[in-house]
A and B are shown apart, each in its own frame.
Chain A
């Protein structure tokens, strides 16, 4: 019997510091067979093991068409992610996955796309941006709104010039420390709504960020006339298995690990338990 709890061994091949507390790791499975057969969908996550410390669910931040390697962009805020911060190229971790639902890419072809991300929430959306860059003709207008606390907290900044060739990228930060140059918006990510070019018609919204941010994003977009059945959110919950057994990630009758993390907004709005701060009630 296949043991879904036994991780595959992966080797860290590259470590890139994104911000003061966030790092992007590139991994390669040790087993050749796993390297050849393993794949994932944009928006899915892996359970990453640091042996002796534990396991944590982390979104995959590379594109599904990037083959031979995969990446995770990790904010060092917990036991496992802080232990990961000490890892160098050549070190091994355990990987189980890919788990969960991905962004509904098939539903996006031929449509406009509005991506709204906050902080580390850009990590699970980077695979979508990479898919858009790889097959730009399949999508219509694509706009990315990205907010972070300060300019120094922005992820993937080195890739922004290339992204901008394919998508409309708009940035906002909550605050700018003195002496830092900032040519973009100051304010929460929803302040970008007034200047964005996305219109409700034929547009699908993908959002990921702190739940409080997603609450205001969804509320604002619904108010502007965006269709509730074309809004998708990626949720964070505590997880210990990734396969619907440990129970920790439940939201109402849904397991965030296997029914999510990407949910259609309307699916969450129908639950008795308050999600996204009860937006839509």
Chain B
């Protein structure tokens, strides 16, 4: 058996120029990589064939990388209408998701709680296990970003396999797990001096100065509990189109619908789950047409109260990570940070 000799991979390296390119080529050559690529004026997480497609300077993506783990369409199993269920084939392919930002990493940590507890979800967990996550700290801030207010960015503390920080033309690469270290093996690397962390912190602290948007989080739970009948909800009801875009782009939304897809033989088919939205009329509708959230304001409140009030008792965390996607996706420019600020202001002026 051939033995390839390689030097041990250090915990922290700085890569630039050819070495950085070599790293990208190594990873994209060995794994199925999903990373940020430009599509028109926006970015999406898409399969990478050529490392040049990766746009490391992306600020946000249309859909969060959640789609890799909690997929928009997921076949649960195939069935035969007469015999019953058939076993579902398991996909075992290991992949790398490249360049996930800290807000989206925190969202994945929340989904881990949703899908990992009580009745663990095998589909989600399989996707998690098969994936190596390369995260990237944010040194640039988008116009709708407010992760700083939520304590979910711009720097990531833990949870990824490798962590990248742009130091301006060169990248600090920190090893989070042995799965991550594996990606670097094969390269001739020297450990980075610890002083490079000073440069990293400088970049991150510069990023913290760039936030324009913030969320009032202090006393937010009390604020919401006491204002369930505030006139602002009626105002929003007139604004909101209930299109569900905010929930489709949300990295922590986990709701889904389940449908049976039947084949043309009317005998075999698949049960499939699909992302769903609490903003849509049918979401809470039951047989005979009864709908527990028929009014649009009830649905708007459900989304915002769930994110900012109900996740806490459910999963021990706020349900918003400050990615700002819902603000950007809303055609009526409904802004969750603005709604909370206005609530807080109106309560303040009533005092």
- Tell me the A residues contacting B by CB distance below 8 Å: 1-7, 9, 30, 51-55, 75, 77-78, 81, 92, 94, 211, 236-238, 240-241, 243-248, 250-253, 255, 258, 272-273
How many A-B residue pairs lie within 8 Å, measured between CB atoms?
124
A246 touches B258 (CB 8 A): yes
9 residue pairs bridging A and B, Cβ less than 8 Å apart: A54-B260, A238-B285, A246-B256, A248-B255, A248-B276, A248-B283, A253-B314, A255-B314, A273-B298
Give every chain A residue within 8 A of B88 (Cβ-Cβ).
Answer: 3, 6
Complexed CA–CA distance, A51 and B80 (Å) = 7
Q: Which of B37-45, B119-127, B168-176, B321-329 binds A?
A: B119-127
A54 touches B258 (CB 8 A): yes
- Which residue of the partner chain A has the closest CB to B256? A246
- Which residue of the partner chain A has the closest CB to B80? A51
- Residue from B80, B114, B292, B310 within 8 A of A253 (CB atoms): B310
Complexed CA–CA distance, A272 and B286 (Å) = 21
B255 touches A258 (CB 8 A): no
- Residue from B81, B119, B287, B288 within 8 A of A52 (CB atoms): B81
Complexed CA–CA distance, A94 and B82 (Å) = 11
Render B64-86 as a binary contact track against A, CB cut-off 8 A, 1 for contact: 00000000000011011111110
Contacts A51-B79, A253-B313 known; A7 to B118 CB distance under 8 Å? Answer: no
A246 touches B257 (CB 8 A): yes
Give every chain B residue within 8 A of A9 (Cβ-Cβ).
Answer: 84-85
Residue of B88, B254, B255, B278 with most chain A CB atoms under a 10 A cut-off: B255
The verdict on B58 contacting chain A, using a C-beta distance below 8 Å, is no
Contacts A245-B119, A246-B258 known; A236 to B286 CB distance under 8 Å? Answer: yes
B284 touches A237 (CB 8 A): yes
In B253-302, the 8 Å CB interface with A consists of 254-260, 262, 266, 269, 271, 273, 276, 278, 283-288, 290, 292, 298, 301-302
Give every chain B residue within 8 A of A6 (Cβ-Cβ).
Answer: 76-77, 85, 88
B225 touches A272 (CB 8 A): yes
Render B133-169 as a binary contact track against A, CB cut-off 8 A, 1 for contact: 0000000000000000000000000000000000000
A245 touches B314 (CB 8 A): no
A238 touches B286 (CB 8 A): yes
Give every chain B residue within 8 A of A51 (Cβ-Cβ).
Answer: 79-81, 84-85, 260, 269
Give every chain A residue within 8 A of B242 (Cβ-Cβ).
Answer: none
Give every chain B residue within 8 A of A1 (Cβ-Cβ).
Answer: 120, 122, 125
The verdict on B309 contacting chain A, using a C-beta distance below 8 Å, is yes
The verdict on B305 contacting chain A, using a C-beta distance below 8 Å, is yes
A4 touches B310 (CB 8 A): no
Give every chain A residue within 8 A of B276 (Cβ-Cβ).
Answer: 246-248
B288 touches A7 (CB 8 A): no
A245 touches B80 (CB 8 A): no
Other contacts beyond A52-B79, A246-B257, A273-B298: 13, CB < 8 A: A1-B122, A2-B122, A4-B119, A9-B85, A30-B84, A52-B266, A54-B258, A77-B288, A92-B83, A211-B290, A247-B255, A253-B312, A253-B313
Give every chain B residue within 8 A of A253 (Cβ-Cβ).
Answer: 309-314
Give every chain B residue within 8 A of A247 (Cβ-Cβ).
Answer: 254-256, 276, 278
- Which residue of the partner chain A has the closest CB to B289? A77
The verdict on B128 contacting chain A, using a C-beta distance below 8 Å, is no
The verdict on B306 contacting chain A, using a C-beta distance below 8 Å, is yes
Give every chain B residue within 8 A of A52 (Cβ-Cβ).
Answer: 79, 81, 260, 262, 266, 269
B122 touches A273 (CB 8 A): no
Complexed CA–CA distance, A240 and B125 (Å) = 19
- Which residue of the partner chain A has the closest CB to B86? A6
Give every chain A residue within 8 A of B256 (Cβ-Cβ).
Answer: 240-241, 245-247
Give every chain B residue within 8 A of A30 (Cβ-Cβ).
Answer: 84
Complexed CA–CA distance, A270 and B24 (Å) = 54
In B91-129, the 8 Å CB interface with A consists of 114-115, 118-122, 125
Give every chain B residue within 8 A of A54 (Cβ-Cβ).
Answer: 258-260
The verdict on B189 contacting chain A, using a C-beta distance below 8 Å, is no
B284 touches A92 (CB 8 A): no
- Which residue of the partner chain B has the closest CB to A57? B286
